[in-house]
Amino acid sequence: MDMNEQIPHKDPLHGITLKKILQDLIDQYGWKYLAEKIQIRCFMFNPTMTSSLKFLRQTPWARERVEKIWLERR
C-alpha cells in the first residue's frame, strides 16, 4: 500500500464535527423538528447553537440521538 493512500474509516461520523452535524440538521429541519424528535430543553426553549453543543457534549444519549438523525438523512 502506498504511504499516501488513506485507509477508509468504518465510522461514518469520522471527521464530522458535532457542530457540523447540528448545523446541517438545523438548516434542513429547524429547531422545532429537533425539539419534537428529541425533547430536551436546549432544543425546545430559546435554542442556540452554543447551549445545544454544550449540552450534547455532556450528554452522550442525546448526542447519539442527534447523530442518528443526521445519519438517517444521508
Between the two ends of the chain, the Cα-to-Cα distance in Å is: 30
Question: Region 35-55: what's the mean pLDDT?
Answer: 96
Structural domain includes residue 43? yes
The pTM score is 0.84
pLDDT digits (tens, 9 = 90+) for 3-43: 556 666 788 888 899 999 999 999 999 999 999 999 999 99
Q: Which three cell numbers stand for residue 20?
A: 457540523
Structural domain includes residue 35? yes
- Do residues 21 and 65 lie in contact, with contact meaning Cβ atoms separated by under 8 Å? no
pLDDT at 5 (0 to 100)? 63
Structural domain includes residue 12? no
Structural domain includes residue 48? yes
